[in-house]
Amino acid sequence: MKIEFPGQSVIVSGAAHGFGRAIAQAFAARGARVYACDIRTGSLAETVQGGAGQLQAAGLDVTDRAAVEALVQRVVNETGRVDVVVNNAGGVLGQVGRPLEQVSPAEWQAIFDVNVNGAFWLSQAAAPHMKARKYGRIVNISSGAGLGVSLTGIQAYASAKAAQIGLTRQLAHELGEFGITVNNVAPGFVRSNPTTERQWESYGPEGQQRLLQNIALKRLGSPDDIAHAVLFFASEYAGWVSGQVLSVDGGK
């Protein structure tokens, strides 16, 4: 199976590190013109420098609807098309698990703003351009937390990722008649960024071993494992696949 994207325009949010960086670089290596987006512009430079092909950085706060619309319009102005959108921006925003009565409204809302609203704004902005060409691929990056219980213990994170999965299924039915597929990758625990490194260290040797024993393959995955699932959903091999959630977690 050879997957390539020559001439296609791809937008990847949350591309400053981890999954987003691996996804952006994977598309660029396969011929796509990639806009790697993130609010952390300094780290985006590392994504671009470590990539190949047509990979460029684009500062973006996905919670800013106007900024999202401007970015999509820029891509259309420069390339004439938007073929693939990968909604990877998200995470826990530095929060840690606490009893629910200690969670402030602002903390709850912040996680929803990035993980759910951001995916909605970017999909909403790209959809008219995809509809016009009768083609498009939207891939959302959720989490195993959206399908079960979050290892972080963060209520908003588990809820937001579940909401993103619901959004995936709803948009798949709304956009399918226009040749647009919408799918979701639900990663398991991967040491992919400073937050997951801190989480891994917090488990200690015994906790780390328990986590590994609960994985069928008895090992952690890598950001590239997540990128490969995204490439499949964005490829012609997944042309009749939509509204699906693919758990990439080593087997649970």
Contact indicator for 156, 104 with CB cutoff of 8 Å = no
Domains: count for the chain: 1
Domain membership of residue 49 (yes or no) is: yes
User: What spatial distance separates the first Cα and last Cα of the chain, rounded to whole Å?
Assistant: 26
Give catalytic residues, as residue numbers: 157
Residue 203 within a domain: no
Instruction: Judge whether 1 lies within some domain.
Output: no
Domain membership of residue 210 (yes or no) is no
Give, in degrees to the nearest 5, the angle at Cα 198 between 195 and 202: 140
Determine, yes or no, domain membership for 168.
Answer: yes
Q: Does residue 47 lie in a domain region?
A: yes
The Cβ of residue 247 has, within 10 Å, a number of other Cβ atoms equal to 18
Looking at the domain assignment, is residue 122 inside a domain? yes
Pair of tokens at residue 187: 């990663």
Whether 99 is in a domain gets the answer yes
Task: Output the domain CATH number for residue 30.
Answer: 3.40.50.720
Q: What is the pLDDT along the chain (252 residues), one digit of tens a residue?
A: 899 999 999 999 999 999 999 999 999 999 999 999 999 999 999 999 988 879 999 999 999 999 999 999 999 999 999 999 999 999 998 889 999 999 999 999 999 999 999 999 999 999 999 999 999 999 999 999 999 999 889 999 999 999 999 999 999 999 999 999 999 999 999 998 888 898 899 999 999 999 999 999 999 999 999 999 999 999 999 999 999 999 999 998
Cβ-based neighbours of 109, under 8 Å, separated by 6 or more: none
What is the domain range of residue 18? 9-191+223-241
